[in-house]
Structure 1
Amino acid sequence: MATTAWASRRGRVSRVALAALGGVGLGLGHSPYGLPWLAFAALPLLFHLWAAAPGRAGAALTGWAAGVGFFGLTLSWIVEPFLVDIARHGVLAIPALLGMAGGLALFWGAAFWLARAAAPEARGLRAVLALAAALTGAEYLRSVVLTGFPWALPAYAWTDTPVAQAAAWAGPHGLGLLLLLLALLPALLRPLPLLAAAAGLALLWGAGAWRLDRPDPAAPGPVLRLVQPNAAQRLKWQPEMIPRFYQRLLTETAAPAGTAPDAVIWPETAVPWLVQEEPGVAAQIAAAAGPGTPVLLGALERGADGGWYNGLTALGDGGAVLGSYRKHHLVPFGEYMPLAGALRAVGLLWIAEGLAGSFDRGPGPRLMAVPGLPPFQPLICYEAIFPHQILRGAQRPAWLLQVTNDAWFGTWSGPYQHLDQARMRAIEQGLPLARAANTGVSAVIDARGRVLASLPLGVPGRLDAALPGALEPTLYARTGDRAALIALLALLTGAALWPRRRRAA
């Protein structure tokens, strides 16, 4: 191919730089940029750079560079937690971003290596199938290896379009595989693959539009009040600010409404006290909500074994504890420190103690029942980014509740990407989702992932909205990622066994 020949004439540094640029192009599809169409230029560029790379090692370097560009952009928010206490942790901000981008890019490097191994000639449809399947496999492994980090999966770039509705059938990885295939087909530079890519995208768009146009599910349920205190992280735990933010929560909770809310929801770690051990605080919170109106709030818990948990507590009349949930999927380096013992051994104890919250893990996903509300699955902060951990079958909830403190994510990209992933969980499962976020975006999301009502980022306030109805379990809710994994394995196997073209004598 002429384009591959052009790429092969570039020096290694030039190819690496172009690969990183291609990764940035893919990253621009995600919030807040919202340019998913760039994938149809970025992926063909990466295909030709991969095809022109010398051998499997060169292919792996191309994939790694593309990953660095992609993750460097989409995870740029990761510097924000280090800037909360800039004097203490600011020096680690850039190394953390570079380390995270470079580390996750290894998955892409491995995918490009595997694709070259499966399609050593690196041309034609065989090569497209191999690269799409290998990259999908890498993204799946990224979602589960070392507790997983499925942030900014390929499908999420299309959250604001009807295309995202296909996640109800194929899940995020199945949809990602389809989109990667469609975006790579133009790299073949022939009319038929171009038409196939256009037709495939049009089909996904049309099917999604059809799904969005279907009748809404059962009548809305209880009215929820989401309270957004907008406590900046650098101020949240300062002694002189704690009473101010707490009073803001109480005032918004007690504010009159035309239709009284059936439940009030506060965000993750809304207060600094152990509410279950402070009956006076619990009673004050319950009084603000009024008789018969439970309050669900994020609060720390101390276990009988002395462990500390990031939890969700439900309070009833008089501050009675109606139930609680303990977060089980903790944030590495934020809520626990991987290899803390090794850090202590080499004299880096200050990192282990200064950065990690040292929380203990809860027992796992579970349903929570609160009087007056349909049963729901609580998700604390980034537990909402794991599609495979939503309860299914007999344990399927009636709705999802996410409480989060996105003040850690800054104000540019992180909070919006986090919201997109919550919307995808609603689409995949056919379940409504309510989201209470400290600094925003708090939202009520219907079972097709549409934001019905929201509070914008950086604004204190409250949001009263009826909980939308749930749909019947989607195909993805019934089958999970099995179909996507079978498809990518079949494509990789087919590419590896593809008859090689004989060279002319």
Structure 2
Amino acid sequence: MKKSLLAALLLGAATVAGFAPFGIFPLPFVTLALLFLLWRGAQTPRYAALIGFAWGLGFFLTGVSWVYVSLHDVGGMALPLAATAALLFCVWLALFPALAGYAFKRLAVGSAWRDTLLVASSWMLGEWLRGWLLTGFPWLSLGYSQVGPSPLAGFAPLFGSYGVGFVLALMAALLAFGWWRLRSLVLLLVLLAAGVALKHVSWTTATGEPVSVSLLQGNIPQSLKWDPARLNLSFDTYRRLAREHLAQLVVLPETAIPLLFDQIPHGYLRELAGDRELLLGAAVRTGNDGYANAALVLDRHGSHGSYAKSHLVPFGEYVPPGFAWFFDWVRIPMSDFGAGAKQQKPIEIANLKVAMNICYEDLFGEEIIRQLPEATLLVNLSNTAWFGHSLAQPQHLQIARMRAIETGRPMLRATNTGMTAAIEPDGSVSAVLPAFAEGVLTVTVQGYSGATPYVRIGNGGALLLAVLALVPALLHKNTKTKKQ
């Protein structure tokens, strides 16, 4: 028993190498197959749950270790408290693969093909639940590991990241439960070939005139950004970067200037914009003395469009009920935002219709598509300085690449410390600035129109696949029960 739990823990930790920045995308296919074998060999559903929990603990302690960096190194929380909070968070996340393991073993029927479908369904539904429950945390869903050059990325415009995860789990199960059967190997090859073929399908088409865009990365450390004595550092840095790079549109990252929007001198904003349009991340006042995390479009005449972040980060942007004590131990400026409306129109900028998303909103594909197919471009504004030198930045860029593939739209990312990038509709990164370096990324971007199947049905397609995959095992169980 101990050997199985240790093996699961190590397999979970190793799976992280399948994601950015390592990018060994075939690795999750192998580690998941080995996990499924451990589940199949478990004597009871409870033991399968323990194996899933051990896998999840190894996976999340390794993959989201940046939570500790955010709390302790940047947020200033005492080491024991930060370590405990990070551990408890990973324990919570590990419950979802534990639940998947329990469900599989509880419903397994001993038939290779039924159990193959069952385990893929259990896995995907566990990931979907993690991305939904208590506002959700779909970071490191296995589908994200498969954005190019993996052939499985071809399934993303149809079924989204969860659907890609389902196909990955299905292939892992075919390897685990039927590798010696010719039909299993044939089906593996068919799925790979289908993914390759789908990658060559153009779901959307270019529209309108290309627009030049300068994405500004100020690289101002979080420890200095909110120091009132260093306010001029933000002013001077972004003024200089905007002057040195001419483009039709200038984009600043999330809360680039550490003031409420109405506290930023209008003359400074007009100077930044010049004869161009300016997209700025800033905190704005709302009714009832509240404020929102927003993106605003400006030119020399003032603001003419805005977006307010609707999916807020628990503990980072709002205080969940009963957790006010948490903020006595961690220093998070502007940590109680109000949420924007769920349904917001794309912002019109420089002849483009932009679907805005701020910080980790781009984790939620079904929320991004609310502004589609009307929007022709995706833009993300982030301040990833909170995560220091960790895996968070390359992982976040990988997530953005998945959103581009799902929607068939380019994605531009403007960040404070990295990774500022331009992403093509096929998920390839056409240009990126190095992390933790001041710089400007000037690119030419083309809007795209049309709708992928995912834009039209969201996560419904992946959920339908998972539910249908449950049916053979459930029917077999029901038939067996009636005979008894």
Aligned amino acid, residue 19 of structure 2: H
Residue 211 of structure 1 and its aligned partner are, at CA, apart by 3.6
Residue 304 of structure 1 and its aligned partner are, at CA, apart by 2.6
Aligned to 1:316: 299
Is 1:455 aligned to 2:433, yes or no? yes
| 1:77-156 correspondence runs (5 A) | 77-85=66-74, 87-121=76-110, 124-156=112-144
Aligned amino acid, residue 333 of structure 1: F
Partner SS, residue 26 of structure 2: helix
Over 3 Å counting, the alpha-carbon distance change for 1:56 and 1:371 in structure 2 is closer
Per-residue CA deviation, residues 347-378 of structure 1 (Å, 9 max, x unaligned), is 76725886881111112242243453312111
Contact 1:166 1:207 (C-alpha < 8 Å) held by counterparts: no
Aligned amino acid, residue 115 of structure 1: F
Residue 468 of structure 1 and its aligned partner are, at CA, apart by 2.3
Aligned to 2:251: 265
Mark the runs of 5 or more structure 1 residues left unpaired by the alignment: 1-11
Aligned to 1:475: 453
Is 1:181 aligned to 2:170, yes or no? yes
CA distance in 1, matches of 2:155, 2:315: 34
Contact 2:174 2:188 (C-alpha < 8 Å) held by counterparts: no
Structure 1 residue aligned with 2:307, among 322, 325, 350?
325
CA distance in 1, matches of 2:462, 2:136: 18
Partner SS, residue 131 of structure 2: helix
Residue 68 of structure 1 and its aligned partner are, at CA, apart by 1.0
Structure 1 residue aligned with 2:156, among 136, 145, 167?
167
Residue 323 of structure 1 and its aligned partner are, at CA, apart by 2.2
CA distance in 2, matches of 1:394, 1:331: 23
Using structure 2 for the length normalisation, give the TM-score: 0.92
Residue 205 of structure 1 and its aligned partner are, at CA, apart by 4.5
Over 3 Å counting, the alpha-carbon distance change for 1:420 and 1:266 in structure 2 is same
Number of matched residues? 477
Identical pairs, percent? 32
CA distance in 2, matches of 1:231, 1:143: 31
Contact 1:446 1:468 (C-alpha < 8 Å) held by counterparts: no
Structure 2 residue aligned with 1:303, among 276, 286, 293?
286
Contact 1:343 1:352 (C-alpha < 8 Å) held by counterparts: no
Aligned to 2:367: 389
Over 3 Å counting, the alpha-carbon distance change for 1:271 and 1:89 in structure 2 is farther
Contact 2:254 2:358 (C-alpha < 8 Å) held by counterparts: yes
Partner SS, residue 228 of structure 2: coil
Residue 193 of structure 1 and its aligned partner are, at CA, apart by 5.4
Per-residue CA deviation, residues 101-123 of structure 1 (Å, 9 max, x unaligned), is 110111111111111121154x6
Residue 404 of structure 1 and its aligned partner are, at CA, apart by 0.3
Over 3 Å counting, the alpha-carbon distance change for 1:63 and 1:356 in structure 2 is farther
Per-residue CA deviation, residues 374-432 of structure 1 (Å, 9 max, x unaligned), is 12111010011100102358763111111000111223310111111111111101111
Over 3 Å counting, the alpha-carbon distance change for 1:110 and 1:356 in structure 2 is farther
Contact 2:226 2:333 (C-alpha < 8 Å) held by counterparts: no
Partner SS, residue 369 of structure 2: coil
Residue 271 of structure 1 and its aligned partner are, at CA, apart by 0.5
Is 1:440 aligned to 2:418, yes or no? yes
Over 3 Å counting, the alpha-carbon distance change for 1:41 and 1:371 in structure 2 is closer
Partner SS, residue 222 of structure 1: strand
Aligned amino acid, residue 272 of structure 1: P
Which structure's relative contact order is higher, taking Cα pairs within 8 Å and 6+ residues apart? 2
Q: More strand by proportion, 1 or 2?
A: 2
Residue 460 of structure 1 and its aligned partner are, at CA, apart by 0.7
Structure 2 residue aligned with 1:244, among 233, 251, 254?
233
Per-residue CA deviation, residues 189-211 of structure 1 (Å, 9 max, x unaligned), is 41425523640453144225524
Structure 2 residue aligned with 1:410, among 377, 385, 388?
388
Contact 1:59 1:116 (C-alpha < 8 Å) held by counterparts: yes
Is 1:425 aligned to 2:417, yes or no? no
Over 3 Å counting, the alpha-carbon distance change for 1:443 and 1:269 in structure 2 is same
Aligned to 1:4: none
Aligned to 1:55: 44
CA distance in 2, matches of 1:126, 1:215: 36
Structure 1 residue aligned with 2:200, among 210, 216, 220?
210
CA distance in 2, matches of 1:431, 1:87: 38
Aligned amino acid, residue 267 of structure 2: A
Over 3 Å counting, the alpha-carbon distance change for 1:45 and 1:394 in structure 2 is closer
Per-residue CA deviation, residues 458-497 of structure 1 (Å, 9 max, x unaligned), is 1111111111231521111112122211111111121222
Per-residue CA deviation, residues 18-51 of structure 1 (Å, 9 max, x unaligned), is 1111212322211112112122321222122112
Partner SS, residue 306 of structure 2: strand
Is 1:400 aligned to 2:385, yes or no? no
Is 1:338 aligned to 2:320, yes or no? yes
Over 3 Å counting, the alpha-carbon distance change for 1:243 and 1:428 in structure 2 is same
Over 3 Å counting, the alpha-carbon distance change for 1:277 and 1:364 in structure 2 is farther
Contact 1:365 1:389 (C-alpha < 8 Å) held by counterparts: no
CA distance in 2, matches of 1:104, 1:264: 38
Contact 2:109 2:476 (C-alpha < 8 Å) held by counterparts: no
Aligned to 1:254: 243
Over 3 Å counting, the alpha-carbon distance change for 1:84 and 1:308 in structure 2 is farther
